[in-house]
Structure 1
C-alpha cells in the first residue's frame, strides 16, 4: 500500500453494504462506519440494518434464474436491471430510516450461477442503475477477481471475520447459516493468512426447499416443524457421502450442488423409509448439523491445533438467518458442546445475526475503494491477494 493510499484509508467512511444470498428471500442492508485502526485492523461499526423481502414475482424470477431454468437474454437483462432498482430502493429506505448518508455502496448482487471448479461465477443486479439512482459510487461484482487469480471466488466473509473476531487467546469459529453454511476458523492471535474458511454444505437452502415442497411455506419458522419430526440417521449418512462434502478446502458451493436434484433425492429416500413430512424437515435440518460438525472435525480442528496449539478455548459464533431456527441451533449447540466448543451468536459481540454478510461487503467495498486487497487466499485458494470488484461512479 502506498503512503498516499494508506493516508486515504485511515479516513472513516460510511458505507452501505448490500447482500442478497442463495436463499433468494430478499435483501439485507447494513450501513456501517469503516476505518483503519491499529495494526491494520479495520473497525466496522454497524450504524443501521434493515431487511427487505423480495416480492413474489421478483423472487420467482430470481429462483428461476438461479435454478438453471431456460431464460432468454432479454429476461435475464430485465431481472438484472430490476434487481438494480430493488437494491437502490433498499439502500435509500435504510438510509432514511436511520437518518444516515452513505458515501459508498457495496453490492454483492444475486448469484445465479457459481462453478468454482470451472472458475466461473455470475452475480447480477445492475450497478450503474444503483449509482445513478443514489448518486453514489458503487462497488460490485466482487468474486471474479479472486477467481481470475485461481481462487474459488468464495467465501469472502473471512476478511470481516478476521478484522472483527480474531481473539488473542481463544480459537474462534465463525459460522454463517444462509442458504449455504460457511465457516471461518480463526486460530488464537492469528494473522489473516492463517484463517481457514470454506462452505460446509447446505444450511437454509435445503430446509426451505423441503418446506416449500411439502408444506407450501417459505421456511421453517423457528424450526417448529423440524421439532415435531425425527431425523432419519441413515438418510443423513447417505446424503453426506456426496463428493463435495468429502472434498478438502478450499471449496465453495451453491444451488448447483444442493438445488432441486439434491432435494428430490433427499425426499425420495425419506419417503422410501416411511418418513412423515415433519420427519423429512427434521432430516434436512439434521443434515445441516451433521455436515457442519463433520467439517469441523475433518478440517477446522486439525488446522486450529496446528496454528494455535496453546489456545485456551474454542468457541463458535453463529450468524445468518439460520441462527433464528431454534431446532437447528439446538442441534449445533448439543453436538459442539460434546466436542468442548461453546456455541453462541454474533449478537454477543455486538453484530446482529442478519447483518453480518452485508457488513462484510461494506468492508470489502471500503477496501476496494482504497485499492486494498479483500480476498483471503488461504480461504479461497487464490494465488495471491487481489483488489476485488468493479466501480460504477454516481453523482
Structure 2
C-alpha cells in the first residue's frame, strides 16, 4: 500500500498484535522489554505476549502482542549524570560504576509497573530483557595498545544481575557484545523485528527510526532476492538537542515541536559541508553514537554557524536539515533499491519541521510507523522482549547482513534471580 503523506496520525497505547493473532493461550510466554536510547530521555518498558517459534527453522516465526507499555523519563539529575559519563572529557569510571546500579534499579521498578499494567505478576513473566543505557560505542575496529590485535567495543549500563535480583525474574542484558565478538558492530538490532513485521511482497520499504541517532532498515520486496540492509544513518535528534542546549545555556534540552527550526532558515551550504564528514560516505555496515555526534560535534556546529553570522534559529534549522538530508542521502547512496515507502518512528516524529524537511529531501511518501498498525514509541521496547525470548530459546537473533557479523549468533547474557 502507499502511505498517506500526512504526519498527524495519532499513536495508540492499546495492546497491539505485532505478528499474527494468537487465538488462544497455548504456548504463550510473557516478556518485559526495556529500552533506553541515545537521547538519554528515559526508559520504555513493554510487556509482551509471545508465541513461537512456529517453525524451528525460521528465526522470525514468532507472534508478539504488546499487552502494556509504560515509560518514565530520567530525572534531571540522572540525565545530567549520564550526559557527563557519555563525554570522554568528563566521564569517570567511578561514576559509570555507580550509574550501572542506579539505572538497573530504575529499570526494575519500571518492569514491575509494566507487568502490573498488563494485569500480571512477576510469577507470570518468563524473562526481563534490557537493552540498558549506552554510554560508549566504538563500532569501528581499532588497535589494542600493546598488542597486534584490533577490536570493537560497546558499553551499556544497567546491570542484569541487579535487575534479576530486584524483579525476581530471569533477565537477559548486554545484547550487543555477542555480535561484536562475532566481528559485527553490535548494531543495529531492530532489523530482527522489522524483517518479521514490515516486509511486503510487492514494495520496498524503509523503516526509519529517528531517536538520538537515526537508523534505518531497508526491507526489499519478497521477490527481489535482496538481503535486509540496516545501519545508522547518522544523527537523529542528538545534534539538534545538543545545539539547542548549547544556544540556550541549558535552559532548553530540545526544540519543542520544531519551533526554533521553523523560525529559522537552514544554511544549505553549511549542511553540504557537514555532509562531507567521512561517516556519511562510509559503506554499511556501520553504526555511531554520542561519542561521535555528541556535544563536541554540536559545539563545533554552533561555532561554524556563528562564524557565518547565522541567528540561533538558523543554526537550529541547519542542524535539523542535517538530520533530514543525511537520511535522504543514505537512501541514495546505500539502498539496493530506492524505497517505495518510508515509515518513521522515534522522537523525531514529534518534530514537524524535521518531518517536513525529510519529505522535501526524499522521493517517496513518508508516514509514521503507526500507519502499519504499530506504535513507533513502543517498537524498540517490544524488540527487546522478543530478543529476550529468543535468547532463552537459543535462537540466533542478530541480522549479519545488517551488523556485519561473520555469522548468526544468539545475543544476550542471562542473569538468574
Common fold by TM > 0.5: yes
**SS of residue in 1 equivalent to 2:70:** strand
Structure 2 residue 36 is matched with structure 1 residue 20: yes
Task: State the partner residue of 1:35.
Answer: 51
Give distance in 1, aligned partners of 2:224 and 2:290.
32
Instruction: Write out per-residue CA displacement over residues 86-141 of structure 1, whole angstroms, 9 at most, x where no aligned residue.
Output: 10011112222332343211100111111111311111111111111111011000
Structure 2 residue 400 is matched with structure 1 residue 377: yes
- The structure where helix makes up a greater share of residues is 1
Give distance in 1, aligned partners of 2:91 and 2:291.
17
Structure 2 residue 104 is matched with structure 1 residue 84: yes
Task: State the partner residue of 2:328.
Answer: 293
Q: Is the 8 A contact 1:155 1:197 kept in 2?
A: yes
Task: State the partner residue of 1:278.
Answer: 313
Give the C-alpha shift of residue 314 in structure 1: 1.2
Q: 1:175 aligns with which of 208, 221, 226?
A: 208
Q: Is the 8 A contact 1:321 1:353 kept in 2?
A: no
Give the C-alpha shift of residue 69 in structure 1: 3.8
Instruction: Write out per-residue CA displacement over residues 209-236 of structure 1, whole angstroms, 9 at most, x where no aligned residue.
Output: 0111113212112211111111110111
Task: State the partner residue of 1:328.
Answer: 354
Give the number of aligned pairs.
Answer: 373
Give the C-alpha shift of residue 51 in structure 1: 1.7
Using the size of structure 2 for normalisation, the TM-score is 0.86
Change (3 A) 1:304 1:35: farther
CA RMSD, Structure 1 to Structure 2 (Å): 1.7
Instruction: Write out per-residue CA displacement over residues 349-381 of structure 1, whole angstroms, 9 at most, x where no aligned residue.
Output: 222121111111111111111101111000000
Structure 2 residue 193 is matched with structure 1 residue 160: yes
Give distance in 1, aligned partners of 2:53 and 2:219.
20
Instruction: Write out per-residue CA displacement over residues 44-63 of structure 1, whole angstroms, 9 at most, x where no aligned residue.
Output: 22221122100111111111
Task: State the partner residue of 1:310.
Answer: none
The aligned runs of 1:141-152 (5 Å cut-off) are 141-152=174-185
Give distance in 2, aligned partners of 1:190 and 1:114.
36
Structure 2, unmatched stretches of 5+, are 1-25, 142-151
Give distance in 1, aligned partners of 2:347 and 2:235.
13
Give the C-alpha shift of residue 70 in structure 1: 4.1
Q: Is the 8 A contact 2:85 2:92 kept in 1?
A: no
Q: Is the 8 A contact 2:202 2:223 kept in 1?
A: no
Change (3 A) 1:166 1:66: same
Task: State the partner residue of 1:7.
Answer: none
Using the size of structure 1 for normalisation, the TM-score is 0.91
Q: Is the 8 A contact 1:227 1:327 kept in 2?
A: yes
Q: Is the 8 A contact 2:32 2:114 kept in 1?
A: no
Structure 1, unmatched stretches of 5+, are 1-9, 306-312
Task: State the partner residue of 1:5.
Answer: none
Task: State the partner residue of 2:114.
Answer: 94
Structure 2 residue 262 is matched with structure 1 residue 239: no
Give the C-alpha shift of residue 391 in structure 1: 0.4
Give distance in 1, aligned partners of 2:276 and 2:368.
29
